[in-house]
């Protein structure tokens, strides 16, 4: 086995593996994260709307209570008026008249209040209907986004499968020991196991390499690793790439 050739094969493999790594990142982290955010947003919108509706329902209840109070007052007035004709003394009559006018003043206040509540309740009910329409359409849009992301996930899955079968064709041709070192680094070094030397620097971490490092790489005795980021180094010009 000539190490130079093995390194060339690793470079080809790395090209595929880099792509697989990025796609996996997209599929396993980025897309699920986005979907989670969208679902939380939907949840929040539903909760906000429910609490707004709840507020309006309470207003409706208040309105009903006020109407009940008003009806009670009107009942009292009727009663007081009917009592008026049963009274014997002028003084009792006067007291009842005062009572009646006080109830009437009370009723007039209560009526104003009912009207106020009625207007407010109507307004808020209108708002609920409007908000429902807009919340529904917003949620619908968010759901569409989720569906699109899920579709994207499936497409990525397929792409990964295609790349993996392409990868299998490469793998068979690489020396077992070289391959196992490469695989090990690939997992430990975020999907990047082999990098070019550019201007005497490591292509990944940019550490500057010594003459000795460069000479060692050119000897093709063993795979030379960057001392800083621990990745296999190669010199593109030396491989006629």
Residues that bind Zn ion (CB under 5 A): 202, 204-205, 226, 228-229
Q: State the minimum distance, in angstroms, from the CB of residue 205 to Zn ion.
A: 3
Q: How far is the CB of 214 from Zn ion (least distance, A)?
A: 14
The residue among 7 and 226 lying less far from Zn ion, judged by its C-beta, is: 226
DSSP single-letter state for residue 233: E
Which one, 28 or 228, has the nearer CB to Zn ion? 228
Asked if residue 35 lies in contact with residue 146, where contact means CB atoms within 8 angstroms, the answer is yes
Q: How far is the CB of 207 from Zn ion (least distance, A)?
A: 5
Nearer to Zn ion, 156 or 226 (CB): 226
Between 114 and 209, CB nearer to Zn ion: 209
Write out the two tokens for 164: 């993996």
CA-CA-CA-CA torsion sign (175, 180, 181, 183): positive
Return the number of the residue (1 or 205) whose C-beta is nearest Zn ion: 205
CB of 226 vs Zn ion, minimal distance in Å: 3
Residue 61 or 205 having the CB closest to Zn ion: 205
β-pairing, 232-234 with 194-198? parallel
Residues 6+ apart with CB under 8 A from 52: 127, 128, 131
Report in angstroms how near the CB of residue 132 gets to Zn ion at its nearest. Answer: 58
To the nearest 10 degrees (0 to 180), the angle between helices 31-84 and 90-171 is 170
219/175 Cα distance (integer angstroms): 18
CB of 3 to Zn ion, least distance (A): 20
d(CA 41, CA 36): 9
Cα separation, 232 vs 216, in Å, equals 12
């Amino acid at each position: 086995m000539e190490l130079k050739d093995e390194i060339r094969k690793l470079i080809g493999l790395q090209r595929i593996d880099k792509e697989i790594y990025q796609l996996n990142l997209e599929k396993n982290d980025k897309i699920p994260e986005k979907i989670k955010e969208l679902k939380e947003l939907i949840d929040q919108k539903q909760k906000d709307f429910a609490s707004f509706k709840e507020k309006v329902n309470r207003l409706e209840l208040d309105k009903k209570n006020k109407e009940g109070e008003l009806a009670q007052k009107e009942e009292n007035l009727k009663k007081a008026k009917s009592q008026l004709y049963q009274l014997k003394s002028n003084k009792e009559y006067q007291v009842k008249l005062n009572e009646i006018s006080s109830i009437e003043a009370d009723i007039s206040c209560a009526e104003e209040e009912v009207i106020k509540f009625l207007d407010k309740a109507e307004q808020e009910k209108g708002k609920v209907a409007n908000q429902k329409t807009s919340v529904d359409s917003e949620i619908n849009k968010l759901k569409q986004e989720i569906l699109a992301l899920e579709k994207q996930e499936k497409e990525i899955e397929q792409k990964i499968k295609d790349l993996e079968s392409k990868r299998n064709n490469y793998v068979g041709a690489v020396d077992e020991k070289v391959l196992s070192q490469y695989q090990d680094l690939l997992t430990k070094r975020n999907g990047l196991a082999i990098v070019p030397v550019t201007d005497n620097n490591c292509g990944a971490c940019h550490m500057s390499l010594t003459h000795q490092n460069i000479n060692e790489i050119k000897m093709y005795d063993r795979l030379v690793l960057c001392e800083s980021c621990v990745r296999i180094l190669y010199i593109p010009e030396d491989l006629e790439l």
